[in-house]
Amino acid sequence: MRKPRIALFTGNYNHIRDGVSNTLNRLVAHLGKRGYEVLVFGPWTPTPAMAHEGKYNPVYSIPAPGRPEYRITMGFPSTEKQKLRDFDPDLIHIATPDLLGYRALRFAMKNDIPVVSSYHTHFASYLKYYRLGVLERPLWKYLHWFYRNSEHLYVPSPATIQELRRERVACELKLWSRGVDTNLFNPGQSDPVWRRSLGFSDDELVVVFVSRLVWEKNLDMVARIFGKIGNLAPSVRTLVVGDGPARKKLAKRLPNTVFTGYLMGRELARAYASGDIFFFPSDTESFGNVTLEAMSSGLPAVVARAVGNISLVDDGKTGYQVEASDEERFTECLMEIIKNKELRNKMASLSRIKAQSYDWERILDQLISYYDEILNVKQTNMVD
């Protein structure tokens, strides 16, 4: 018998390094180790941000209007369709319901190939940052249709499952969490020498924000909180890790904040562990990858009360959850942790313990078991 063949369609695989691309590349590598053949389709880019895993078939794309760092595929050309036919997939996994994903779904329906989808981006929450709230209901209408034609929809958190059920998404929802490399992201990566090189003294506390620097990450709240935290607690410094189109404007608003730019691997792990408190007010994530990395690094987390964080941060135990617009409450929670060393240390310890339950291998094997449910049914139907 041939190896099972999975065709994966995504709106980002190598042109931006973020939670989606990192997760999907990790998945493809894991599927290869488990004996699956995978062919990935996603946007072509002239300047890849990362080396991709597996066999990647780039589809022609253009820069997104106003956001050139993002790429938009313009369809599914006949040459790419033929590559998909030649691959002869047993299952199609669509990670992004964009135009390429739509064409892939239509192809699967026409050729009687089972389809699964995964939910990586909370699209509706992005609309408010672009003053496009009027499009929310049409977007949900499209997503209802899209996911109704999927066998499974893989969702990263119980809170996201609840929200999709409230929106009456008619599909079998399966929990597929995200993991963290607890060996890489751990408190032992703390580096006092590196801290000092950034201008932080040993007796100062450092509040860390890690993200791609785009305004939909609630950077305006970051600017307001970081802009006043030093006045409220002179022994506290602020650190921003990441890069993006909003960096220059954010740095101009925060002249006393240290900006490291984009970090990855051990440098990123060092940045987390060398901080003392993690702050993340974004409410657009379907899963808080950076929150989990910070917790694994032993940091209390003050985060937005949003679907991406609810299942991670135990309010009052590993940190605090706050409404994304509540500047006063964010300030109160940060100051409570800053002033109370015993609370800070207890939250740090519990954060590390909680993160250790998110093992990548177990999580990726869980997704494979979902694939096998469908592949086994398909094989049984073929025999019958």
Whole-angstrom distance, CA of residue 244 vs CA of residue 246: 6
- Helix-helix angle 360-383:19-33, to 10 degrees: 60
Taking the chain (384 residues) in runs of 10, the rounded mean pLDDT of each run is: 92 90 95 97 92 95 84 92 97 96 97 95 63 74 94 92 90 93 96 97 97 94 95 94 96 97 95 98 88 97 92 96 97 97 98 94 95 82 56
Strand partners, 6: 38, 91
Q: What is the separation of C-alpha 104 from the centre of its chain, rounded to a whole number of angstroms? A: 23
pLDDT for the residue 131: 62
Position 178, amino acid: R
Whole-angstrom distance, CA of residue 89 vs CA of residue 5: 5
pLDDT for the residue 99: 94
pLDDT for the residue 239: 98
Whole-angstrom distance, CA of residue 319 vs CA of residue 280: 11
pLDDT for the residue 129: 59
Whole-angstrom distance, CA of residue 364 vs CA of residue 25: 11
**Alpha-carbon dihedral sign for residues 14, 18, 23, 26:** positive
Q: How far is CA 216 from CA 105, 143, 284, in A?
A: 28, 21, 7
Q: How far is CA 26 from CA 13, 138, 228, 290, in A?
A: 11, 33, 39, 16
pLDDT for the residue 383: 52
Q: How far is CA 371 from CA 38, 180, 378, 382, in A?
A: 13, 22, 11, 17
Q: What is the pLDDT of residues 306-357, one digit of tens each?
A: 888 888 999 999 999 999 999 999 999 999 999 999 999 999 999 999 999 9
Whole-angstrom distance, CA of residue 294 vs CA of residue 213: 17
Q: Is the pTM value of this prediction over 0.85?
A: no
Q: Which domains does the chain have, with CATH numbers?
A: 5-179+359-383 (3.40.50.2000), 187-355 (3.40.50.2000)
In what side-by-side order are the strands of the sheet with 37-43? 55-59, 37-43, 5-9, 91-94, 115-118, 152-155, 172-175
